[in-house]
A and B are shown apart, each in its own frame.
Chain A
Amino acid sequence: MDHPTELTDIPGGRRRMIRPRGAWIMALTLALLALAAGPARAVPLFNRQTGQNCVACHAGGQFPELTPYGRLFKLTGYTLGQRTAVPLSAMAVVSAATVANTSKSLSPGSDFQKDRDLILATASLFVGGKITDNVGAFVQITYDPYAVSNADGSFSGHTNADNMDIRWADRFISGERDLIVGLSLNNNPSVSDPWNTAPAWMQYVPVPSPTSYQFIDGTTPYPGYASGGNIAGLTAYGFLNRTWYGEVGAYGTARGPLSFVTRGVAPRTTLRGLNPYWRLAWNHEWGAHSLMLGTGGMLARIYQDPGDPTTIDRYRDWNLDAQYQYLLDPHALTAQLVYAGRRHSYPAAQSGQPVGFVDPAGNALANTNAADSTRLLRAKLSYVYQARYGGSFSLFSLTGTTNTANQSSGFDPATLTITATDPNATQLSLPVNGNLSGNPGTRGWTLEAFWMPVQYIRIGAQYTGYSRYNGAASNYDGFGRNAKDNNSLFLYMWVAY
Chain B
Amino acid sequence: MTCTRLTISRASWAVLALVAGCANPERSRDVANPAVSGAVLAQQVCSMCHGLGGTAVSPNFPNLAAQTDVYLVSQLKNFRARQRRDPAGFEYMWGLSHALTDAQIDGLAAYFSRSTPQRQRVEGKAERIAAGQHIFEQGLPAKSIPACAGCHGDKGQGNGMFPRLAGQHGDYLVKQLTVFQRTDERSDAQTIPTGAVMKTVAHQLGREDIANVAAYAQAMPNR
B5 to A285, Cβ gap below 8 A? no
Chain A residues whose CB sits within 8 angstroms of the CB of B49 once the complex forms = 69
CB proximity of B209 to chain A, nearest CB, Å: 21
How many chain-B residues does the 8 Å CB contact rule pick out?
Answer: 49
Chain A residues whose CB sits within 8 angstroms of the CB of B23 once the complex forms = 132-133
B13 to A51, Cβ gap below 8 A? no
Q: A166 at interface (Cβ–Cβ under 8 A)?
A: yes
A234 to B92, Cβ gap below 8 A? no
B92 to A53, Cβ gap below 8 A? yes
C-alpha gap A258/B14 in the complex (Å): 12
Chain A residues whose CB sits within 8 angstroms of the CB of B171 once the complex forms = 288, 328
A285 to B58, Cβ gap below 8 A? yes
Chain A residues whose CB sits within 8 angstroms of the CB of B91 once the complex forms = 52-53, 55-56
Chain A residues whose CB sits within 8 angstroms of the CB of B6 once the complex forms = 256
Q: B52 at interface (Cβ–Cβ under 8 A)?
A: yes
Quick one: which of A166, A170, A250, A287 has the most chain B CB within 10 A? A287
Q: B1 at interface (Cβ–Cβ under 8 A)?
A: yes
CB proximity of B89 to chain A, nearest CB, Å: 11
A50 to B96, Cβ gap below 8 A? yes
A257 to B27, Cβ gap below 8 A? no
Task: Bits for A286-313, please: 1 = Cβ < 8 Å to B, else 0.
Answer: 1110000000000000000000000000
C-alpha gap A50/B93 in the complex (Å): 9
A185 to B58, Cβ gap below 8 A? no
B48 to A168, Cβ gap below 8 A? no
Q: B184 at interface (Cβ–Cβ under 8 A)?
A: no
CB proximity of B51 to chain A, nearest CB, Å: 10
Q: A135 at interface (Cβ–Cβ under 8 A)?
A: yes
C-alpha gap A50/B90 in the complex (Å): 12
B22 to A133, Cβ gap below 8 A? yes
Task: Bits for B106-138, please: 1 = Cβ < 8 Å to A, else 0.
Answer: 000000000000000000000000000000000
A134-B24, A273-B1 given; A82·B8 CB < 8 A:
no
A82 to B99, Cβ gap below 8 A? yes
Chain A residues whose CB sits within 8 angstroms of the CB of B27 once the complex forms = 133, 170-173
Q: A272 at interface (Cβ–Cβ under 8 A)?
A: yes
Chain B residues whose CB sits within 8 angstroms of the CB of A328 once the complex forms = 58-60, 171
Q: A81 at interface (Cβ–Cβ under 8 A)?
A: yes
Q: B21 at interface (Cβ–Cβ under 8 A)?
A: yes
A250 to B60, Cβ gap below 8 A? no
A51 to B52, Cβ gap below 8 A? no
Q: A240 at interface (Cβ–Cβ under 8 A)?
A: no
Q: B11 at interface (Cβ–Cβ under 8 A)?
A: yes
Q: B103 at interface (Cβ–Cβ under 8 A)?
A: no
Q: Is the interface of A mostly helix, strand, loop or mixed?
A: mixed
A133-B24, A176-B52, A258-B8 given; A171·B44 CB < 8 A:
yes
B12 to A82, Cβ gap below 8 A? no
Across the interface, A285 reaches (CB within 8 A) one of B30, B43, B57, namely: B57
C-alpha gap A255/B175 in the complex (Å): 54
A257 to B13, Cβ gap below 8 A? yes
Chain A residues whose CB sits within 8 angstroms of the CB of B180 once the complex forms = none
Q: Which of A30-38, A72-80, A366-374 contacts B (4 or more CB under 8 A)?
A: A72-80
Q: B203 at interface (Cβ–Cβ under 8 A)?
A: no
Q: A252 at interface (Cβ–Cβ under 8 A)?
A: yes
Task: Bits for B12-49, please: 1 = Cβ < 8 Å to A, else 0.
Answer: 11011001111111011111100000000001110111
Name A residues whose Cβ lies closer than 8 Å to a Cβ of B: 47, 50-53, 55-56, 68-69, 72-73, 76, 79-83, 130-135, 166, 168, 170-173, 176, 178, 183, 185, 232, 234, 250, 252-253, 255-258, 272-274, 285-288, 327-329
Name B residues whose Cβ lies closer than 8 Å to a Cβ of A: 1, 4-6, 8-13, 15-16, 19-25, 27-32, 43-45, 47-49, 52-53, 57-60, 87-88, 90-92, 94-96, 98-99, 171, 175
* Seed contacts A81-B32, A133-B21; 18 additional CB < 8 Å A-B pairs: A52-B94, A52-B96, A56-B92, A68-B58, A69-B48, A132-B20, A132-B22, A132-B23, A135-B20, A171-B29, A173-B27, A232-B8, A234-B8, A234-B11, A273-B1, A287-B59, A288-B58, A329-B88
Q: List, sorted by A's number, 22 A–B pairs whose CB atoms are closer than 8 Å.
A: A47-B95, A51-B96, A68-B57, A73-B48, A81-B95, A133-B25, A133-B28, A133-B29, A135-B16, A171-B44, A172-B27, A183-B16, A232-B8, A253-B5, A258-B8, A272-B1, A288-B60, A327-B58, A328-B58, A328-B59, A329-B60, A329-B88
